[in-house]
Structure 1
Amino acid sequence: MPSARIRHARVAAVAVASLAVMGAATAPALATPDATGRPAASAQHRAHLPASYSIPGDRTYPEGIARQHGTPYFYVGSTSDGTVYRGDVHQSATKVFLPGGQDGRTSVAGMKTDTAGRLIVAGGATGKVFVYDTRTRALLHVFDTGRTDVFLNDVALAPNGDAYISDSVHPVLWHITAAELTSEHVQQPLRVGADLARSPIDYNAGFNGNGLVVTDDGRYVLLADYNDYAFYRIDTITHQVVPIALGGAEGVSGDGLLLRGNTLTAVTELDHPEGQIAILKLSHDYTRAKLVRTIHGHGMHSPSTAAYDGRDLLIVNFQFQIADPHLPFNVVRVHVNR
């Protein structure tokens, strides 16, 4: 989903970053539910799942991913032409789900699926968010900023069904209400959820607001500032923005974020072409975070974001701006010990 990622001088152009990640456990005493609602896969069961999932094309540059609850499916999008691919966690190859260029969807970044079976896709520099029915592939909505100076990067869903969208080049947090998502109107304006222009977030040249998540109570959006290795808490009611103190931890960046309870997982390739998964423990008010550990390797190649699959992470190898990428493009399965 990014465009040009060079530390203090990224140029927005193609599609940037999104998601992130969180931890898992080896040999757990008790299984926790996976994305289908069933107990998480045991180590023995995981051994029968593919270690990676290939994505067609030699210029795909996939960025975003969404794991659909209650199904074996996940979705991945291409920043280069807007194609959306669908994979089955039991099969090693993904297939085209929505052709690139359809509905004006020429590039895609972050995406999520909601409980109603809708796929919500951030359209990067198109300034649009596209919403599809995953059962029929029908276009349900196009939410349009009406602007060209934006880069809609990642999507996060709130418990009440609202969606929040980060913007990497324009200092706003975009917001789609649950009512708008259930409306019969296809074409709708994309509205500002919070103005970040006078907030502590420093929007400078390159990619700024990136991965984001919503807390379990729906009160806060946690947003990563990719450029500046920083994280912020945004109040969804008052719109107050508070920096999240990292306790002196350095080199922690968030292209994609995942949140379970008070564990925040961030995935990035910034300064780490071998990929970095950072696991942080948050304070109860989400204003402080302690870096627990970082993880590298595991088949990652300049990754962008991730999705939960039970205790595993499905991580997208974006390989942005790599002229001779490692092919095929893929999603890798990473099991992270707690």
Structure 2
Amino acid sequence: MNRTSAVLAALAVAATLPLAVPPSATASGRPGTYELQGDPGGSKFEGIGTDERRGTFYVSEVTGGEIHRGWAGTARTEQWLAGDGTDGRFTARGITTDAAGRVYVAGGPNGIGTGRPDLWVYSPRGELLAALRAPGDDVFLNDVAIGPDGAAYFTNSNAPQVYRVSSEGGSWGVTRWADATGVVEQQAGFNLGGIVVSADRSALVVAQGNAGALWHFDLRTRVVSRVDTGNAVLTDADGLVRQGSRLAVVRNFARMLATLELRADGRAARLVSQQATDPARVLTTAKVLRGRTLYVDSKFDEAVAAGPYEVVTDPLAR
């Protein structure tokens, strides 16, 4: 075999071999995991929001209420906003961004019995725009999504309610937008959580984790009805991620990722698959950033959490 033939043969063999990619990176050159900063006494995390235009993501810390920020192409993140009482925030749950890059943070139980805020809105530069109390005395704001009208819609885990936050005439305010009492049966534990907008932008689709149900909130009429999911098992449904007609349901302590085909109006869904997630992690929610889905490893299964603290792009068991 001459030298040219040998080189061509070697290239042909190489083309059949898997691409060598460092464990911490993907074939795109971007990190496969993102490292979050933790506190010396241990940290737990829950929500994630992404800013597609800026290539950034934000992660909320349950223990202390810090907000962390990362970039699509860099493995390390930074603490963006302090917690431990900053702006009245001692814990943080769901988080998202709007088209202007503003960051909306759900406070979970932060305001219950304390008079502290239930939610916050920040500019992309980290300036506090609003720190608001939601109507009611037992409000646990869990997750948040931006509606077609540009307002932010927050779920309440302590009652079948959705709150709406917007700036009207330069002043920020929060209202109880929908109350599904009598339709959604309140059960022990965490009720309404993850929230997304339907593909046709006519409704909100909301997860009820303890019941394993999805609910349809009509954006025009505010009428609430159960999403027909057939026999799909969705207990522990937490974060929701919709991409086109595909809806991913992150089932935290069940350690499963359910994928459904969601009708455009959000009224029905068909189960496509159930896949086991990494048994060493309790993933809570996820968001898409520049073509990849980022999942939060919460550390909720650890009495005292220990690092590494991570956001991962590969959630599945191996």
TM-score bracket relative to the smaller structure: 0.7 to 0.9
User: CA 1:251–1:162 in structure 2 vs 1: closer, same or farther (change >3 Å)?
Assistant: closer
Number of aligned pairs? Answer: 283
Q: Residue 75 in 1 paired to residue 61 in 2?
A: no
Alignment of 1:47-86 (within 5 A): 47-58=28-39, 59-86=42-69
* Structure exhibiting the larger radius of gyration computed from Cα positions: 2
Task: Show the counterpart of 1:114.
Answer: 98
**Alpha-carbon deviation of 1:248?**
1.2
User: RMSD over aligned Cα, in angstroms?
Assistant: 2.1
Give the number of the structure with larger relative contact order, counting CA–CA contacts within 8 Å between residues 6 or more apart. 1
8 Å contact kept, 1:311–1:335: no
**Alpha-carbon deviation of 1:134?**
1.3
Q: Residue 198 in 1 paired to residue 182 in 2?
A: yes
Quote the Cα distance in structure 1 between the aligned partners of 2:188 and 2:227. 22
SS in 2 for 1:257: strand
8 Å contact kept, 2:47–2:296: yes
User: CA 1:192–1:50 in structure 2 vs 1: closer, same or farther (change >3 Å)?
Assistant: same
Q: Residue type matched to 1:139 in 2?
A: L
Aligned with 1:185 (options 171, 180, 187): 171
Alignment of 1:233-312 (within 5 A): 233-251=216-234, 253-272=236-255, 276-297=256-277, 301-312=281-292
Q: Residue 129 in 1 paired to residue 119 in 2?
A: yes
Aligned with 2:155 (options 166, 171, 176): 166
State TM-score, norm by structure 2. 0.83
**Alpha-carbon deviation of 1:300?**
6.4
Aligned with 1:319 (options 281, 284, 299): 299
Q: Residue type matched to 1:278 in 2?
A: A
SS in 1 for 2:237: coil
After superposition, give the CA deviation of every residue in 1:31-80 in whole Å (9 maximum; x if it has no partner): xxxxxxxxxxxxx9744111111111252211000111211211101011
8 Å contact kept, 2:162–2:178: yes
**Alpha-carbon deviation of 1:139?**
0.2
SS in 2 for 1:256: strand
Identity of aligned residues (%): 32
SS in 2 for 1:81: coil
After superposition, give the CA deviation of every residue in 1:293-332 in whole Å (9 maximum; x if it has no partner): 1223358610100010233210000121521445211100
8 Å contact kept, 1:112–1:156: yes
Task: Show the counterpart of 1:139.
Answer: 128
SS in 2 for 1:160: coil
**Alpha-carbon deviation of 1:193?**
0.7
SS in 2 for 1:255: strand
Task: Show the counterpart of 1:22.
Answer: none
State TM-score, norm by structure 1. 0.78
8 Å contact kept, 1:210–1:226: yes
